[in-house]
Amino acid sequence: MFNNLPKKIQLTEVGPRDGFQNVKTFIPTGDKIAIIEGLIESGLTTLEITSFVSPKAIPQMADAAQICAAILGKYDGKINASALVPNLRGAQLAWDAGIREITCVVSVTAEHNKANVNRTHEESVQELVRMREALPDMNMRVDLATVFACPFVGWVKPEAVAAVTEKIAKTGIKKFVLCDTIGVATPDRVYNLTKFMKSTFPDFEFSLHLHDTRGVGMVNMMAGIMAGVDSFETSVGGLGGCPFAPGAAGNTPTEDVVNMLTDMGITSGVDLNRLLQVVALIKDNVDEPLNSHMAKAKIYDCFCPRQ
Amino acid sequence: MFNNLPKKIQLTEVGPRDGFQNVKTFIPTGDKIAIIEGLIESGLTTLEITSFVSPKAIPQMADAAQICAAILGKYDGKINASALVPNLRGAQLAWDAGIREITCVVSVTAEHNKANVNRTHEESVQELVRMREALPDMNMRVDLATVFACPFVGWVKPEAVAAVTEKIAKTGIKKFVLCDTIGVATPDRVYNLTKFMKSTFPDFEFSLHLHDTRGVGMVNMMAGIMAGVDSFETSVGGLGGCPFAPGAAGNTPTEDVVNMLTDMGITSGVDLNRLLQVVALIKDNVDEPLNSHMAKAKIYDCFCPRQ
């Protein structure tokens, strides 16, 4: 059962975007940069480092360009840094800041797409087309939100996920992230949807972004691994949510994931002890309690990862 | 993968014992009784309701006889109520209080057995023999502590678990709980040990008690289910730990488990909404933050458990 799992899992750290945009207090830019540097030094070299959104809508992300300047200036060519953008304007700002991969969010349900980006599906696809035409050299991936369930209309059928994916695929985008925006999926839903999407779109890349609102983040991730996914978005400290999805909270904590994978002999390239130092730094910067177990767990001297 | 899981899982609620003994403040007896009644009314009819231990060592359990009188007086014959006891004296007190199933703890590592019950393995087995002779009609199960790892000596080999089980089996006891006392196991360890123990002792009953110290409680439980276990100990609110194991903390929360199982179509007999009312009651009685996701999660109107 657990003997045939992949030996390597790609983690994309989304804490600096999904996390920082959801904390109530603004984290000073210098502290953000120190945290991102810590994440990179711990081995997390694929990161969503910020988002280029309206500072009126999400003031926590007003320093996106400064973050990019600092991080890309120091690590350019050594890391895969992406940013989330809601529209062409954000994509252009990201390009100007040196970003070469962007994430755009399209929700599978029309209702959440309207609440999140104030667009119909057709308008979302049109915006993606405009971005691809204006920035042909920008790499693009799409976060498919509410793939399991929507806070406004309830459970979502896999066929609906495929239909929206099909529309987006016409723009040429082949990289998708299946997002459990409000964290209500359970392992069989994750396994079945992932298998379905991989077989329906065999040429596309799928990764998973699993909120841990109900304590199922880790077991859902394992279901995804069993379904053949080897790429996951996680968030240091378990920070995260969605400002436009009532009840969305708590991401799957990178440090909990790294602890589990490391003990199972699955490489993520991350040094757990160094990562835990970054978690301690985040604890100092965030008022609310972290959705992280490793942040609180005793670290024993009598263990090495495997024996 | 997830289609062949059992349709029914037996949950043993250990919050009133494992949980209440580990909270820093003494919960008033009347509140404990109200919580236990709430748990029973929500459908948790198999419970470890208290422990008969030295009130000097664990003052939180000083009201064990009162708890038994209230709960057994109201629900006798309708529930499976057990109590944890450390020795013959505790077993006799439990019997006198109306308890007909006791749990005794034996740690697989000599070091933790010494710290926890101040006995060698031989002394533990002798005490079990004394109990069986003095109380031949008492049902007995053994919590095997530190089956994956020990806070004092590190990782534990499955052969060591089998050796201790073999010694205990000579007393006639056939019901065992494999306990991850400090919550450091990962899914493959749980799967492999469980398979090994079930094949080594095919006539014995094994259930799992998985601490959630590192966020792996739910995924470890799923690994146990996949290995053929259909009986688990969980704790309402995620309360729990071990007073004599440094770093032991946080049990797998019953409400998180019930939410996952219910959504997966696996029956536990528990009404999640009623259980969440009990969780709210515990929140009012416990100063420390709960290791529970469902205690904080938004409950949506737009979902029914399955569609």
CB pair distance less than 8 Å for B302 and A260:
no
Return the beta strands (E) in chain A as ranges.
Answer: 10-13, 46-51, 80-84, 101-107, 139-145, 149-150, 154-155, 175-180, 205-210, 231-234
* Token pair for A264: 């199972």
Q: Can you tell me the mean pLDDT for B95-122?
A: 97
Question: By mean pLDDT, which of A161-165, B55-59, B247-251 is the weakest?
Answer: B247-251
Distance CA B40, CA B44 (A): 5
Nearest to B303 among A155, A222, A259 (CB): A155
Cβ-Cβ contacts under 8 Å, B156 against chain A: none
pLDDT band at B115 (very low <50, low <70, confident <90, very high): very high
Distance CA A210, CA A224 (A): 10
Cβ-Cβ contacts under 8 Å, A182 against chain B: 298, 300
Taking only the tens place, the pLDDT of each residue in B187-232 is 999 999 999 999 999 999 999 999 999 999 999 999 999 999 999 9
- The region that residue A41 occupies, defined by phi over 0 for left and psi between -120 and 50 for alpha, beta otherwise, is alpha
pTM: 0.96
Cβ-Cβ contacts under 8 Å, A217 against chain B: 215
- Contact between B253 and B292 under an 8 Å Cβ cutoff? The reply is yes
Distance CA B118, CA B104 (A): 13
Rg (CA), chain B: 18
CB pair distance less than 8 Å for B188 and A3:
yes
Q: Can you tell me the mean pLDDT for B54-65?
A: 93
Cβ-Cβ contacts under 8 Å, A216 against chain B: 218, 256, 259-260, 293
End-to-end CA distance of chain B: 20
Distance CA B208, CA B221 (A): 8
Distance CA A179, CA A232 (A): 10
* Token pair for B301: 């109107």
Distance CA A121, CA A129 (A): 12
Q: Which of B214, B225, B252 best probes binding to A when mutated, by most A CB atoms within 10 angstroms?
A: B214
Tokens 């079945």 — which residue? A192
| Alpha carbon of B177: minimum distance to chain A alpha carbons (Å) | 22
What's residue B208's pLDDT?
Answer: 98
What's residue B307's pLDDT?
Answer: 43
Query: Cα B15 from chain centroid?
Result: 8
Q: What tens-digit pLDDT sequence spans chain A (307 residues)?
A: 788 899 999 999 999 998 998 888 789 999 999 999 999 999 999 999 999 999 998 999 999 999 999 999 999 899 999 999 999 999 999 999 999 999 999 999 999 999 999 999 999 999 999 999 999 999 999 999 999 999 999 999 999 999 999 999 999 999 999 999 999 999 999 999 999 999 999 999 999 999 999 999 999 999 999 999 999 999 999 998 777 777 777 899 999 999 999 999 999 999 999 999 999 999 888 888 888 999 988 887 666 544 4
The whole-chain average pLDDT of chain B stands at 94
B59's CB contacts (< 8 A; 6+ apart) are B26
CB pair distance less than 8 Å for A246 and B307:
no
Q: Which of A4, A220, A242, A263 best probes binding to B when mutated, by most B CB atoms within 10 angstroms?
A: A263
Using the Cα atoms of residue A172, residue A268, residue B180 and residue B4 in order, give the sign of their dihedral: positive
Q: Which of B7, B220, B251, B303 best probes binding to A when mutated, by most A CB atoms within 10 angstroms?
A: B303
Burial category of A11 from C-beta neighbours within 10 Å (exposed 0-12, middle 13-18, buried 19 and up): buried
| Alpha carbon of B301: minimum distance to chain A alpha carbons (Å) | 8
- Contact between A33 and A258 under an 8 Å Cβ cutoff? The reply is no
Q: Where are the domains of chain B?
A: 10-285
Answer yes or no: is pLDDT of B98 > 50: yes
CB pair distance less than 8 Å for A215 and B218:
yes
pLDDT band at B284 (very low <50, low <70, confident <90, very high): confident
- Contact between B179 and B147 under an 8 Å Cβ cutoff? The reply is yes
Of all helices (H) and strands (E), which one includes residue B80?
strand B80-84
* Token pair for A171: 């723009």
What's residue B33's pLDDT?
Answer: 97
According to CATH, the topology of domain A10-285 is TIM Barrel (3.20.20)
B163's CB contacts (< 8 A; 6+ apart) are none
Q: Which residues pair with A10 in a beta bridge?
A: A231
Determine the 3-state secondary structure of A210 from DSSP.
Answer: strand
Q: Strands A139-145 and A175-180: what pairing? A: parallel
Q: Which residue does chain B place closest to A262, by CA atoms?
A: B186
Q: Strands A139-145 and A101-107: what pairing? A: parallel
ipTM value for the complex: 0.95
Query: Cα A215 from chain centroid?
Result: 17
| Alpha carbon of B151: minimum distance to chain A alpha carbons (Å) | 7
The CA-CA-CA angle for residues A167, A171, A176, to 5°, reads 70
Q: Can you tell me the mean pLDDT for B12-21?
A: 94
Distance CA B60, CA B17 (A): 9
* Token pair for B195: 């398979």
